[in-house]
Structure 1
Amino acid sequence: MTDQLVVPGSRVHDVDALRGFALLGIFIVNITFMASGYPGNLVVDPQFTSTLDEVVRGVSSVFVDMKFYVLFSFLFGYSFTLQMESAAAAGTAFEPRMLRRIAGLFVLGVLHIVFLYGGDVLTTYAVACLVLFWMRRCADRTALRVAAALYGVVLVSLVASGLFLDASAVLPSAEEARVNAERSTAAMLGGWGEVIGHHLDGLPLLILQALTMQGPTALAMFLLGLVAGRRQLLARVRGDEPILRRIQWIGFPVGVAGGLLYTFGGGNGHTLAVAASVATAPLLAAAYVATLLRLMHAPRTTWIRSALAPAGRIALTNYLGQSAIGLILFTGVGFGLAGRLSPPATMTLALAIFALQLWVSAIWLRRYRYGPAEWLLRWITLGRRPGLRAAPVG
C-alpha cells in the first residue's frame, strides 16, 4: 500500500500496474466483509443461497481469495528496494526516513481500523516491515531461506491444526455463528459508536491472524520481493520470456486445483482447506503476474498497463478510498446497505467502484504527483512537506 519514492522518470510502470491489479482482487475480497456480517462469522447469509449466489461465491473463492494478498506483499518487498535506491540517489540516510515511514504506515493503519474498516492490513505490513528493515542487507540466499521457513511453518501449523485439533471445540456452532452474524450486521447499520465498536470487536481476531498467518506470510513475500527487486526482475521484462509461459503452465493448474480444494473443502471454516489455499495461492498469483506481463508488453494490449498503473501508483489512497466507500455505502453512517446486496450485486459493485478508481486515478495524476495518502506518508517519511502538484509538461 505504499508509494514508490523514486526520482522522476525512473518508475517501474509494470510494478504500478501489477499493484493496481492486486488492488482489484483485494477489494473483491474486502467488500464482502464490508457488506455483511456473515462472511466474518464464516456462515452464508440465508437470504442469498441461489445457484447464482453460490457460483459467484465459488468463483471468488477459487480465483481471488487469498491470492492477491500474497501478490501485494511481494510488490511491497519489491518497492522496498526502490525506496532504498531513492534514498541513495537523494544522498540521504535511508534508516531514519524508513523508520518514520513505517511509523506513519502503522498510525494510518490504526486509524483505518477504528474509523473505516476492521480488516486492515497496514498495521500488519508496518510490523512485518520492521523485520524486513532489519534484514535489508542479508544475502539473497538467506532471504530466500527465511521466506521458505516462514511459509513452511505456517503450512505445517495449519496442517497440524487441521489433523489434530477439534475445530468444533474452538469455533461456534452454525446456529451461534448465524446469531453472531446477525448482530454484526446490525452493528454495522448503527451510528458511529456502533460502527467503531464493530471494528474494535474484531481486533482480537485481527491480531491473532496477523501473528499466526498474515504476518509470517506477508514477511515471506516481502523477502521474495526484496530479492526480486535487487535483481530488477520487473525492470527488464519484454513479455516474450519463456519463463513467463512456464510460470503459467505450472501456476494455473496447481493454483486452480488448490483453489478448488479450498472452496469445496469448506473455505475459511476448515483448516486443511485453508492450508491447501495457502500452499498454492503464490503459484496462482505468479501465473496472474506472468499473464499480465505478457499482455502489457503485447502490442495490442499495452493499454492494460496504462489503465492499471495510475491506480497502482496511488495504491494507498485507493485502498483507503475503498474502505471509505464501503463505510458510506454499507454502514448506518451512510446508506445502510449492509445485508441487502447479493453476492452478484456485491461483485458488480466492486468492479464498478474499481473502474471509477481507475478513471479518477488517471485524472488525479495529470495534476498531482501523489495521491493524498501518499503525499501525507511521504511528508512523514521525508520529515518535510513535499510538493503536490505535478510538474508542467512541455
Structure 2
Amino acid sequence: MSGEPAAAPAAAPAAVPPGGRVAEVDVLRGFALFGILLVNAQLMAGPYTAFGGGPGASAADRAAAWAVTATTTVYQLFSFLLGYSFVLDRRAAGPAGSAAGARHLRRAACLFGLGLAHAVLLYPGDILMTYAALGLILYGLRGLTPRTALRVAVCLVAGLAVLLLACGLLTVALTEPVTPAQYAPRAADTVAAYRGGFGSVVGAHLRELPSALGANLMYAPDILAAFLAGLAAAKAGLLERRGRDRAWLRRTLRRWLPAGLAGGALTACCANGPLDSRWFLVGHAVSLLTAPALTASYACGVLLLAGAVRPAADLLAAAGRMALSHYLTQSLVLACVFTGYGLGLYDRVGTAAVLASCVLLYGLQLVWGARLMARTRYGPAELLLRTVTLGRRPGRVPACAGSRPTAAAPPRVR
C-alpha cells in the first residue's frame, strides 16, 4: 500500500482483483481493534472499572472511563467493515451459484463456534455469535441496492433509538437510581467468582452469558444497520474511490466530528455521571443517532494518517488482516491477567491503569501482526475460518479440479 495521497479522486470504483484486498479496509479494521480492546478491558477488569471504579475511585479513573465512553464507537465501525468485506469477498469469489450459500453457512457456523468457545472460556460479552447470526440475514439481503440498504439501515437505527429513548425516559420517571450499597453484594459475588479457579471463572461466564446475549439481541438492529451501511458503501466503491482523496476526507472529518463528539459527551454523562444510573438507556439512544458521525470522522482521520505515514498504515493493515486472531488474543491475555486463570487482578486495578496497559498490549499486537503477516497469508484464527469456509485448506485445489494449478496467485493489496 502506498502512503502517498492520490492527486484526485477516481471517477469510478477501482476494480478489486480476484483474491485481492482493499488496504483501506484492513487499515480501519486494525484501528478498530484498539477501541474494542479499550472497551473489553474495562469490562473484564472488574465490576466497576467501566464506570470509573467503585466508591472512592480516583478522579483519574473516573475521567478515563468517561473519556472512553464519550469517544468509542468501535463496534459500529467493525460492523460496517464486516458488511463492506462481505461484498468484497463475494466479488473475489466470482459467480459460484449455490456453492456460495454453502460457504456462507459454513463460515457462519465456524464463527458461531469460535464465539461460543470465546464466551464460555474467556469473555461472555462476545460479539462473534451475534455477527454469525446477523451475517445470515445480511446474506439474505445481499441483493439490495445501495440506496435501499441505507434506507433500511436508517429505519433500524431510528426505530431502536426511539424504543431505547422511551424505555429510558420511563426508567427515569418511574424508578429510583441504584445505589452503591444495593450493587455491592452482587459485585462481591462476581469478584469472588472471577478470582477463583478455572471452574469458578467458567461458571461466572455461564451465569453472565444470558444477559450478554440479551444485550447483543437488543442492539442487533444497530449492528445489522452497520452491516447494511457497509454493504451499500462497498457496492458504491466508497473506499476505493474516496479512501485516498485527502480533501474529501478532511471535509467529512470537519463536518461530522463535532456532532459525534457532542453525542458521545452526552452518552458519557448518562452512563458515567454526573447523571445517575437511570439515564443509561437515554444516553445509549443518543449514541445510536450520533455514533455514525463519530465513526465516519474516525475513519477519515485514520485514513488521513495512513496516507501521510506509511509505517503506520502498514502496521494497521497487517493487524486488520488478522483481526479475528487479535480479538481472541486480547481476551486471552486479559483473562490471564484479571481472572483466576492467571494473576487474578479482577477489581484490583484502576481504570486509568487498565487503559494504559491496553496501549502496551495493542502496540505489541501491532508488532506481532506485522511480523506474522510478512511471512504468511493468514493469522491462526483466519486460517481456521477460511479452511472451514472453503471446506479445504486455502491454496489447495478441490479434488474435482483435475489438473488445474494447485495454488492461486498471492493477493494483490490495493
Cα gap change, 1:166 to 1:60, in 2 (>3 Å): closer
Are residue 44 (structure 1) and residue 53 (structure 2) matched? yes
Q: How far 1:59 sits from its partner (Å)?
A: 1.6
Question: What do the CA deviations read for 1:173-231 (whole angstroms, capped 9, x no partner)?
Answer: 43222221222122111111111111111122112212212x11110000000011112
Are residue 105 (structure 1) and residue 114 (structure 2) matched? no
Q: How far 1:62 sits from its partner (Å)?
A: 1.3
Cα gap change, 1:247 to 1:237, in 2 (>3 Å): closer
Question: What do the CA deviations read for 1:106-151 (whole angstroms, capped 9, x no partner)?
Answer: 1111111001111100011111111101000122222111111110
C-alpha distance in 2 between matches for 1:184 and 1:147: 37
Whichever residue aligns with residue 238 of structure 2, its letter is L
Cα gap change, 1:290 to 1:140, in 2 (>3 Å): same
Match of 1:237 in 2: 242
5+ residue gaps, structure 2, are 1-15, 397-406
Q: 1:217 aligned to 218, 222, 229, which one?
A: 222
Are residue 207 (structure 1) and residue 210 (structure 2) matched? no
Q: 2:136 aligned to 130, 134, 152, which one?
A: 130
C-alpha distance in 2 between matches for 1:339 and 1:173: 18
Cα gap change, 1:204 to 1:91, in 2 (>3 Å): closer
C-alpha distance in 1 between matches for 2:272 and 2:74: 16
Q: Which range moved further: 16-25 or 302-311?
A: 302-311
TM-score (norm 2): 0.86
What SS class does the counterpart of residue 46 from structure 1 fall into?
coil
Cα gap change, 1:88 to 1:361, in 2 (>3 Å): same
Are residue 289 (structure 1) and residue 299 (structure 2) matched? yes
Match of 2:38 in 1: 28
Q: How far 1:246 sits from its partner (Å)?
A: 2.8
5+ residue gaps, structure 1, are 1-5
What SS class does the counterpart of residue 280 from structure 1 fall into?
helix
Match of 1:57 in 2: 65
C-alpha distance in 1 between matches for 2:52 and 2:174: 14
Q: 2:314 aligned to 284, 306, 315, which one?
A: 306
Q: How far 1:241 sits from its partner (Å)?
A: 4.7
Whether the 8 Å CA contact 2:20–2:92 is kept in 1: the answer is no
C-alpha distance in 2 between matches for 1:153 and 1:201: 30
Are residue 226 (structure 1) and residue 234 (structure 2) matched? no
C-alpha distance in 1 between matches for 2:156 and 2:294: 19
C-alpha distance in 2 between matches for 1:24 and 1:12: 20
C-alpha distance in 2 between matches for 1:170 and 1:13: 50
C-alpha distance in 1 between matches for 2:331 and 2:283: 28
Whichever residue aligns with residue 334 of structure 1, its letter is G
Identity %: 43
Match of 2:380 in 1: 372
Are residue 73 (structure 1) and residue 79 (structure 2) matched? yes
Whichever residue aligns with residue 253 of structure 2, its letter is Q
Q: 2:125 aligned to 110, 119, 128, which one?
A: 119
Question: What do the CA deviations read for 1:342-386 (whole angstroms, capped 9, x no partner)?
Answer: 112101111100000000011111222101100000111001122
1:256-295 paired onto structure 2 within 5 Å = 256-267=261-272, 269=277, 270=279, 271-295=281-305
Whether the 8 Å CA contact 1:70–1:221 is kept in 2: the answer is yes
C-alpha distance in 2 between matches for 1:308 and 1:211: 30
Match of 1:327 in 2: 335
C-alpha distance in 1 between matches for 2:250 and 2:373: 33
What SS class does the counterpart of residue 25 from structure 2 fall into?
helix
Corresponding residue pairs, total: 381
